[in-house]
Structure 1
Amino acid sequence: MPRFMVFVRATPSSEGAAEPTPEILSAVGTYNASLLAAGVLLAGEGLVPSSRDSVRITPGASPKVEEGPFPTNELVSGWWILKVKDVQEAVEWARKCPEGCGVLEVRRIAEMEDFGEALGEEGRKREAEMREQMEKLARGE
């Protein structure tokens, strides 16, 4: 079953100094519980404003490192990873997100088969081993 990432786009409010209201935190908590109860939630987190502990690194011969804050229209303020049957189901869940979260973007997470033959047998083996190690870490092993 495919996995989808639902990005929450940042807003001036999410990037501001004010904390989220208890009402929105409660609504998002209820939403998260519904995702979990349905068995579709794999992970999800909110992000602190880009003015706190945020760095952008632009690759190149001499990578450029910039500290936040960054323009709101370039930011994500949170995310969920859902495991659902298709993009339509991911969109259905995203549409249930409480008012006040901001603009959402739904994108399918690439799987090994999405890379065709370019990954090669060795690349597939290495990727499978890496995923197994990540799952062990997630379980605390």
Structure 2
Amino acid sequence: MRAVIQRVSEAKCLVDDELTGEIKNGYVVLLGVCNEDTDEDLKWLAQKIVNLRVFSDDAGLMNKSLKDIEGSILLISQFTLFAQTKKGNRPSFINAAKPGLAIPLYEKMINELKMLTNKEIATGIFGADMKIHLVNDGPVTITIDTKNKE
């Protein structure tokens, strides 16, 4: 799994001009699922997301986690995180998981994050053409790949 985590002061997702999810302080998490991903990857990544310390403390240092600030998450599925661009100019998405694998893991991630944060998780719609509006706070953008745990 790959995640691009953006610290935001606000964010929302629209599908066909309809609001599907909206948050204030927290993260927009773009989540890509690959063919080899497991529940173990999912649990490890969810823990990393909620415990990542990138919010400012009273001294202005990035010492607080999402849990510390009681922040929210807007989770967006994004298979393009597994784009291969080595050959030619048209990306290949052969390593991105097909919906039969990706949808259940995406839904499990929603539930895992909900359990870890004790908050509802705002989402887009899997496979839809989504318009994401956000104010990146910092900017702070972190990428995490479960294949690089060690």
The interval holding the TM-score normalised by the smaller chain is: under 0.3
If the length of structure 1 is used for normalisation, what is the TM-score?
0.26
Larger CA Rg, structure 1 vs 2:
1
TM-score, structure 2 as length reference: 0.25
The structure whose residues are more often helix, as a share, is 1
More strand by share: 2
